Every structure is written in structure tokens, then in C-alpha cells.
Chain A
Amino acid sequence: MVVSAQPATPRKKPLQVIEREELTIRFVGDSGDGMQLAGTQMTNTTAIFGNDVSTFPDYPAEIRAPAGTIAGVSGYQLNFGAHKLRTPGDRVNVLIAMNPAGLKANVADLEQGGILVVNEDAFNKQNLAKAQYENNPLDDGSLSRYQLFRVPVDRLTAEACADTGLNARAVGRCKNFFALGLTYWLFGRSMDPTLRWIQDKFGSKPAVADANVKALRAGFYFGETTEMFTVRYLVPSARLTPGRYRRVTGNEAMALGLVTAATRAGKPLFYGSYPITPASEILHELARYKNFDVRSFQAEDEIAAMAAVVGAAFAGAFAVTGTSGPGLALKQEAIGLGIMTELPMVVVNVQRGGPSTGLPTKTEQADLLQAVMGRNGEAPLCVIAPATPGECFQMAIEAFRIAIEFMTPVIVLSDGYLANGAEPWLIPDVNKLPTFKVVHPTTNNNESDGGHFLPYKRDAKLVRPWAIPGTPGLEHRIGGLEKRDVTGDVCYAPDNHHHMIVTRRKKIDNIAETIPPLAVNGDPSGELLVLGWGSTYGAITTAVERCRESGLKVSSAHLRYLDPMPKNTGDVLRSFERILIPEMNLGQLLHLVRARYLVEPIGLSKVQGKPFMIHEIQSRIEELLNGK
């Protein structure tokens, strides 16, 4: 078969175009096959076309696991649609498998009758053995329930790039672009955004740029020329809120939100962090923003990062750290110091599978109790959680709003799914973003003659002043020892300790006066409420909407504030006969809600390192309501 990199001659068989409301594609291959790149390019292109997009990368923990093995499989799933999407999709409609291991690890997720495109050149004896296939699945009939397309990607890429002057190894690295080109043809997408990207990225390496362009085009024209495919799929553009968009991951949105908060306040942002998956991208992003006066500090360990944040907050910075579960555990003592010294700071915890090292690259929601209660002593702080990748932006700003207004550490619970997942993000109008009123006192608040500054003299909301070093006349000493209220002097008096313990808790409770009430999606009362928090939002909301469309009496509510919870939370919960709480843990929100509101929710746990599928929640709702 000869494939030219030229537009095709007219087809003999007419091409059928099928319109779909949404589609889910997954690219899988070896971690060296460039699947993440193919996935992000497809995401950008389809977003530019006007679809809504939701994505989920799934990469191995090892940087280079042995080539061809299941441990080394890297995948990227994207769901794109003609309507608002909230998840990367349940069932895969199209699977593009670059090797046997990728096929083996993923084919079970492909819908019956789904499109399966395989790189047949990779299905050699060696790779089949590495993937532990006894027979070649392409030949043994085991894939008969799918629409199988065997494409010699390696060979066609090599032919297309034959005259680029690159060696075989370098040409081999272009095969993801061949697969991408074929995907673009299959879904009627333009190659232009990727062609522009290739020029931007490889402009200084013309041979590489040339080869990638040739591979992309070859893939596209292969679809057009060969007549292997008789159907093309069209997903019309979505009706999104008008405006300018870009793609963001949760980690990118978090970094943008943090720098926005500090910039709007005219303060330096101090980001002290120790590299940890899946939070490191926040450090990488912020380290680039030098001209925003971001002081990124890569500390020697998690503890140093947190202690430096406490110091930076004392000195008057917008201070923040980012970490993941094991790092949060290490930081807890210093977070307690932040609570005791009542300084404003933000801790971003991008949750991953635990306990211990657990599943570093996989998602989980099992740090909720660690965030709310995981410190020695009575150590309350504010805990909030974004629900979508884009929402990480608003919640980062909100975290600083609360930290500054209430002089407290705030933990933001993101997770691996939000951090790496991407969606189109409506670029905000800067002028409409919140501003911050930061007050550092400059005059002594002690009314008695000659008395020293009173660092723990509180206002009506129980908040102490944020006086910073460098201010003459307000010199004071604070630390981790219990202190006398008002004066801040070290104090072991029993009544004072009790008073301070209660006061610190009350101050956190006062935050509830400043947060929005818990909104109910659907009827405000009824048979069943599905309650969630964090990244389960998409799957829960979609499942509930589908159930409501089929006539079931179910509503949903999503907690973005975990401590304190919105004031109406108890009322909302008591308005429903039953409550279902899907969580990627063994029932941590359930535990909190039961203890606080004396309700008896039903838990739905999934702790597999993978997000909920819509249908998993949907079928539990149906069981509960139909089984009544």
C-alpha cells in the first residue's frame, strides 16, 4: 500500500457521516509513544472547533517502565461533545492502541461495537509476549465485538518520513502524529492548530518539524484514501458561554488563581514546596511567573516548605504551599503552628492514592479527614475543595480571601483527577475578579500608656491583626506555645487555654457567615439527595440529571466548603428522605456529615485510583429508588 502525503482522489464508495452528541476517545500506547501529546493536541483542536471537552490522562508511575509492558502503558482519554460535559466519559467509543500492552490494558473499557484502531506493526512476537498475549488478538477473533481497523502505523510513518533525513529512531517518534492525523480525519477536524503547534515547538529543528508534519498529513490522508473507513463522525460544536477560551488543567488553574490573588492584592506570592506527584506542576507554573513577583522556593523537604510558608506569612507575603497526601502528613505540625500563630496561608493538597506512598499517579479523595482533623490538639482550620479543573482558579482565590479575612491556614483539596484533567476555561475579565483588602496595622492598638502592641486583640469576627516585621512600634513575639488572649504572651493558665481553644474554633465557624449556601441541583426536597465534594462533581451531576430525565426523584448537592460547611447544610440534608454520598474513599464525608448533622447517609465508595463512572452512580441511584 502506498500512501502519499497528498490530498486524495475521490472515493469509490460514498462516505457516511454520522452525527453524535458526544464521543469518548482514548489514545493508548507505550509511555514512549507520545500518547499524552496526541491527546492534548486532539483536545486543543476539538476545543478550538467549539466542542466542550473533558480529559483524563492516565500515565504510569515509572518515567520509563520497560517498553512494551503493561506497566509502561500510557493513556489519554478525552470526551468531547455538542453540550456541556462534566466528565471525561464512561465508555470509550474509540480506542487507538499503539501496541499490544495498550490494547490489553484498555480494551475492556471499549463499548461493544466501538471503533478500535490498532498499530498492527507493533503486534509482533516480542511485544505480544511482553503484553502476555499467547495468540495475536488481531487474528484470533477475540476482538470480534469491535470494529477493528488494522493500520500499519510504523511502516506508513517510516515511508512518509523517508526523505526527512532523520534516522529510524527519530522517525519512530513521529508515529503519534500519524495516529493523530488519522483521528483528525475520522472526526472531521482540521490539522491547522497542530500544524501551527509543530512550527512553534520545532521551529528550530526543521527536520523534526518536517517529519511530524509529514506523519500527521500521512495519517490524515490515509483515512481519506484507503477506504478502510466508510464512516466519519461529526460532533457539532457546543453552545458554550460566549467569550475567549483556553484549555486549563486543574494544576494550571490553581497556579493562575494563586498568582491572581496575590497580584490583585499587590503582594508578593511566596510558594514554598517540595516536588511531589501530582502537585509539582503548580511549582513549575509559578516558578515561571517571575515578573509577577512570585518567590518560588523549592525546599529541602515538605516540612521546610511548610515552615517557610509560616515564616513568609509572618513577614507579610501571600504564602502558599502545594503538596500531596504524604507531604500533607509531614506538614501537619507546621500547619498547627500556622493555626496557633493565626497567620494567613494556603495549603494546596493534590490528593493521590494512599496510604503511605500508595498510588502516586492515581486519584483518590482519602485526605479529607486528614485535612479537617489531622493535627495534634484542637487545631481547626478552613477546608475547601474545587469541583472541576477550571474551578481550581476560583477556589485558589477564595482560599486566600478566607485566609486573609480570618487570619487562618486554609487547605484546598484538589486531587490527581482535577490536577491533570483539562477543560476549556472561559478567560475571566480581570476587572471583575475580586480585590483584596489587606490591612497591616501601623499604630499600636494598646490603649494603656506605654503598653506594648497586642497581637491577639481580636475584632468582632475574632480575627487578630496582621502586623508585620518592619513596622516600628509594633514589635511582638509569637510562636507555638499557648498564649494569653489579647497580649499574646506565653501563658499556661488553664482557663485561658480553654478560652483560646474555643476561640480558635469559633473563628473558623465564623467563616460560614461569608460563604454561599449549599445549592441543590433539582427539587429542593424529595426522596434522594446525592451529596458530593471535590472531583466527583461531574459524575454525580451527570448521573443525577440522567436519572431525573428518566423520571426519578433525585437531586444533588456539592460541598465546596468542608469546614466550616455552609449554614444551610443541615436543612438541605434533612429535606430528603435518603442521602447517598459517592466518594473515592471509605466514607470520609459521610463520617463528617453523620457526626455533624445526625443524619444516616448511604455511602458509595470507590477506591481504585480511578474516578467514578457516571453509570456507576446512576445505577446505585436507580437501585435505591426503584428498589423501594
Chain B
Amino acid sequence: MSTQSTVVQLAAKDYASDQEVRWCPGCGDYSILAQVKKVMANIGALREKTVFVSGIGCSSRFPYYMSTYGFHGIHGRAPAVATGIKATDPELTVWVVTGDGDGLSIGGNHFLHSIRRNMDFKILLFNNRIYGLTKGQYSPTSPLGKKTKSTPAGSVDYPLHPISVAIGAEATFVARAMDVNTKHLEHVLDRAAKHKGTAFVEIYQNCSIFNDAAFEYASGKETKDDTTVYLEHGKPLVFGKDRKKGIRLNGMDPEIVELGGDITEDDLLFHDEKQVEPSLAYLLSRMHYPHFPEPMGIFRCVERPTYEEMMLRQISDGIAAKGPGKLEELYDDGETWVVN
């Protein structure tokens, strides 16, 4: 097989397929698609070595719009499809694109298990807190009391918090970004691209049709500085318009404090994305609007052998111990006898 690779440096537009993009006007997915293509160009991704895999939902149309290999699967199963791809060819770079319904409701099981195995692929979860493709039912991330077509009196389900779930399954890379904060989104995607192991990114994504302004609190000019805190490794958690507020640990609980007087940055919680024990990352994942600013950025980034590495090692160990498999020897396994 010819494995000659493209040597020409590609631009973001070279990662676009010839298909017309069909998301609704104003959909947050456009921005995410644009940033992903930029990151592809930044990292010099080879189109032939890259596979986008998706399930079902608005976000899952994503692979059709990329000029790489792509696989549009069935509802919720994208991580499982990606697992088969990676187990077969670990050298491929695989991106799973999913949504809050696809990834956490119908596909919740595969989401958890691919993360726990530390499969070496990225999972981009476009969280719009609604079912868009089926025209507006509440999703597993919709807040309690959410009024939708299927919950006219308000939903009585408590929501799942994707980052908490991913950390609970011990994801080795966990991050959050937002569709409209394109610079930060690009940075987070770039970091995810470079991570070895499961890289989970929750992306706040606005559905302009069925759940418009769901993240207004975190994106609005007036509010965003007070409702979000940007995580930086080794730096204290400071936020607010004048960067006068911070997050301090009070025993096991975070609290908001005003900087100044006898409270300095040294009293604040310092972010450490490399902590092997995921408790701090989990604590951060529990900070929700309106009680806390919501952390954006990389919650956790640690190293751990991937499923593919360990699988291939067992195969090479097997070959080292017994030599490459010979069918004759396999058939002769156990007790045999000769009939003359």
C-alpha cells in the first residue's frame, strides 16, 4: 500500500469537504467547525490519518463537513465505533463529535467506558442543553424545571454535569470551552489534539432555535467576567471585571472572596491540572452558575497508558514469547491422535 503522506502544509480551508454546511443560521456549531479546522492546520494534521466519528444529532453532521475520513454512526455509539477504529489502526487520529443527548443520554454507557479505558481519541461534546434535531425536548443537561415540548410543566429530572461525569470516569484530559470565545476554544482544542489518551472537551454551544441564550450568562459582555473563571495551570483562580475576585478553599468547599485587604492571591486556590488524584478537578467541576463562576479551560491533564498501547503490548509480548502465530501449531493444541 502507498503510504506517501501529504507534505504540503494545509490551511484551515483545506480541511473543508465539498458538502454544503446545513446547520441553522446562528448555530454555535459553525464556530466550533471553524476552530477545529484552524487547529487541524495548526497541528499539521494529515487528512488521510484523521477520522471524525459521530453519532446522531445536529453536532453529528460534523464529519460530513471535514475533508478527512469520516464516519457518521448511529445514536450514541460514536465512542464504540471509534474504539473499533483505534483498536485496528492506533496510528489514526480520531475525533469523536457528540452532543449532550447523544453522548450522555443514549450513549452514556459508551461515553463512560471509552473514558475509563483511556482510549486515545478526543471527544468533543457540544452541549446546548436541548434536543435540537428532534425539535426541542429537554436533554440530560437541561436544568431542573426546564419547559420544553416534552416537559410543558417543566422537567423533573436533575441534570448531569458532563465534566463531573468525565472526571468520575477518570478522564485523563478534561476541558471546557465556549462556541463564542473562539480564541480560547482554539487553545483548548489545540491542547486536546496534543493529548495522548481520552481528551474530553465540553463545549457550551448555543442552539439559536430551541434554546437560545442558554449560555448568555457566560457569554454576555456584561456578565461573563463574573460568571466564568479561566483556569490556568499553576495560577490562582481569579475572576471578575477588575480581577478583584477569587476562589478560596474553605475546608473542602470553594468560596468566593474579594481580593484586597488581608486577602491576597496567595490565599486563593491555585490550579493544578496535573494532579493525578482527580478530586480538585472534580471540585472545580461542581462550581455552577449562579452560585459560582463556571471554570473554563483545562480541568485535568494527566498521563496514563492508553488502551491501544496496552493492547498492542500484549500482542507484541505474545509474539515475543511464542513467535508469530502458526496455524499448524494452533490446530495441534492439546491432545491429538492419528487415524491410519
From A334, A469, A477, give the contact of B74 (CB < 8 A).
A334
A270-B84, A290-B319 known; A481+B72 contact, CB < 8 A: yes
Quick check: is B2 within 8 A (CB to CB) of the other chain?
Answer: yes
**Cβ-based interface call for B48 (8 A):** yes
How many chain A residues touch the partner (CB < 8 A)? 77
Check A452 for interface membership: any CB of B closer than 8 A.
yes
Number of A-B contacts (CB under 8 A): 228
A430 to B339, CA, bound (A): 18
Interface string of A117-142 (1 = CB under 8 A from B): 00000000000000000000000000
Given contacts A244-B337, A289-B325, A304-B77, contact A470 B92 (CB under 8 A): yes
Known: A308-B83, A315-B88, A472-B48. A300 touches B18 (CB 8 A): no
A307 contacts which of B70, B73, B332 (Cβ < 8 Å)?
B73
B330 within 8 A of A: yes
Q: Given known contacts A472-B2, A474-B48, is B335 in contact with A291 (CB within 8 Å)?
A: no
Option from A242, A303, A476 in Cβ contact (under 8 Å) with B80: A303
Q: Is residue A32 within 8 Å, beta carbon to beta carbon, of the partner chain?
A: no
Contact with A along B74-112 (1 / 0, CB 8 A): 100101111111111101100000000000000001101
A440 touches B2 (CB 8 A): no
Which residue in A242, A319, A469 is a CB contact (below 8 Å) of B48?
A469
| Cβ-defined contact, A469 with B87, below 8 A | no
Q: Find the residue from A294, A440, A477 having the highest chain B CB count within 10 A.
A: A477
Q: Name A337's contact: one of B74, B89, B337 (CB within 8 Å).
A: B74
Known: A246-B334, A292-B330, A471-B1. A452 touches B319 (CB 8 A): no
| B63 close to chain A: CB less than 8 A | yes
Contacts of B319 in A (CB 8 A): 290-291, 293
Could you say which residues of chain B place their CB within 8 Å of the CB of A312? 84-85, 87-88
A244-B324 Cα distance, complex, nearest whole Å? 23
Check A7 for interface membership: any CB of B closer than 8 A.
no
Chain B residue with Cβ nearest A452: B18
Interchain nearest-CB distance for B96 vs A (Å):
11
Complex contact B337–A311 (CB within 8 A): no
Is A148 in contact with chain B by the CB < 8 A criterion?
no
A428 within 8 A of B: yes
Segment at the A interface, from B175-183, B233-241, B295-303, B310-318: B310-318
Neighbour of A295 across the interface among B54, B315, B328, CB < 8 A: B315
Which chain A residues lie closer than 8 Å to B321 at the CB level? 291
A206 at the interface (CB under 8 A from B): no
The answer on a CB contact under 8 Å between A477 and B80 is: no
A307 with B84, Cβ < 8 A, contacts A47-B337, A291-B318, A315-B89 known: yes
CB of A575 within 8 Å of the partner chain: no
Minimum distance in angstroms from A411 CB to a CB of chain B: 18
The smallest beta-carbon distance between A617 and chain B, in angstroms, is 29
Given known A-B contacts A290-B319, A292-B325, A317-B88, A477 and B83 have beta carbons under 8 A apart: no
Known: A246-B331, A291-B321, A315-B92. Is A240-B339 also a contact (CB below 8 A)?
A: yes
Query: Quick check: A295 and B2 within 8 Å, CB to CB?
Result: no
Cβ-closest chain B residue relative to A468 = B89
B4 beta carbon closer than 8 Å to chain A: yes
B64 within 8 A of A: yes
In the bound assembly, the distance between CA atoms of A327 and B227 in angstroms comes to 47
Measured CB to CB, the closest approach of chain B to A319, in angstroms, equals 7
Let me know if A304 and B80 touch, CB within 8 A: yes
How many angstroms from the CA of A402 to the CA of B80 in the assembled complex? Answer: 25
Alpha-carbon distance A245/B339, docked complex (angstroms) = 7
Q: How far is the CB of B56 from chain A (nearest CB, A)?
A: 8
- On whether the beta carbons of A242 and B339 are closer than 8 Å, the reply is yes
- The listed residue (A295, A433, A473, A478) touching B87 by CB distance below 8 A is A295
Q: Are B80 and A311 in contact (CB under 8 A)?
A: yes
* Interface status of A602 (Cβ within 8 A of chain B): no
Contact B315 A469 (CB under 8 A): no
Q: Which of B80, B322, B324 has the most CB of A within 10 A?
A: B80
Stretch from A166-174, A256-264, A497-505, A565-573 at the B interface: A256-264
A478 touches B70 (CB 8 A): yes
Give A328-359 as 1s and 0s: 1 = Cβ < 8 Å from B's Cβ atoms.
Answer: 00000110110001000000000000000000
Q: With the chains together, A544 CA to B4 CA distance in Å?
A: 61
Q: Is the beta-carbon distance between B332 and A247 smaller than 8 angstroms? A: no
Bound Cα distance A209, B169 (Å): 46
Is B89 touching A469 in the complex (CB atoms < 8 A)? yes
Tell me the smallest distance from the CB of B149 to a CB of chain A, in Å: 24
Is A489 an interface residue, CB under 8 A from the partner?
Answer: yes
Q: Kindly state the separation between the CA atoms of A50 and B19 in the bound complex, as whole angstroms.
A: 67
Residues on B with C-beta less than 8 A from A479 are 54, 63-64, 70-73
Chain B positions within 8 Å of A333 at CB level: 74
- Of B3, B311, B321, B339, the most chain A CB neighbours within 10 A belong to B339
Q: Which residues of B contact A63 (CB under 8 A)?
A: none
Q: A468: which B residues are within 8 A, CB to CB? A: 89
A304 touching B83, Cβ below 8 Å: yes
**B109, A427: Cβ atoms under 8 Å?**
no
For B198, the chain A residues whose CB sits under 8 A away are none
- Closest chain B residue, CB of each to CB of A238: B339
Task: Confirm or deny: A314 has a beta carbon within 8 angstroms of a beta carbon on chain B.
Answer: yes
On chain B, the residues within 8 Å of A307 by CB distance are 73-74, 77, 80-81, 84, 110
A407 contacts chain B at the CB level, 8 A cutoff: no
Do B91 and A477 have beta carbons less than 8 Å apart? no
Give the chain B neighbours of A513 by CB distance below 8 A.
Answer: none
> B6 on the interface (CB 8 Å rule)?
yes
Q: Are A470 and B48 in contact (CB under 8 A)?
A: yes
Min distance, Cβ A200 to any Cβ of chain B, angstroms: 9
Known contacts A243-B338, A304-B110, A315-B92; A490/B84 CB under 8 A: no
Complex interface bits, A285-313 against B, C-beta within 8 A gives 1, otherwise 0? 00001111111010111011111111111
Question: Does B339 lie within 8 Å of A241, measured CB to CB?
Answer: yes
Q: Which residues of chain B from 189 to 211 have any CB-CB distance to chain A below 8 Å in the complex?
A: none
A44 within 8 A of B: yes
* A-chain residues with CB within 8 Å of residue B311 when the two chains form the complex: 295
Among residues of B, the one whose C-beta sits closest to the C-beta of A243 is B339
Which chain B residues border A471 with CB–CB below 8 Å? Answer: 1-2, 48
Given A246-B335, A290-B314, A477-B17, 20 new contacts (CB under 8 A): A48-B337, A193-B335, A244-B339, A245-B339, A246-B336, A260-B327, A270-B88, A294-B315, A300-B112, A304-B110, A305-B80, A316-B88, A317-B84, A336-B74, A469-B51, A470-B89, A475-B69, A477-B69, A479-B71, A489-B19
Q: List 29 A-B contacts (CB under 8 A).
A: A241-B339, A245-B338, A246-B333, A259-B327, A260-B327, A268-B88, A290-B317, A291-B318, A294-B315, A295-B88, A297-B87, A303-B80, A307-B110, A308-B87, A309-B84, A310-B84, A311-B73, A311-B81, A314-B84, A315-B89, A337-B74, A341-B71, A442-B2, A470-B3, A472-B5, A473-B48, A477-B69, A489-B19, A490-B19
The 3 closest A-B pairs by CB, nearest first: A479-B72, A311-B84, A290-B318
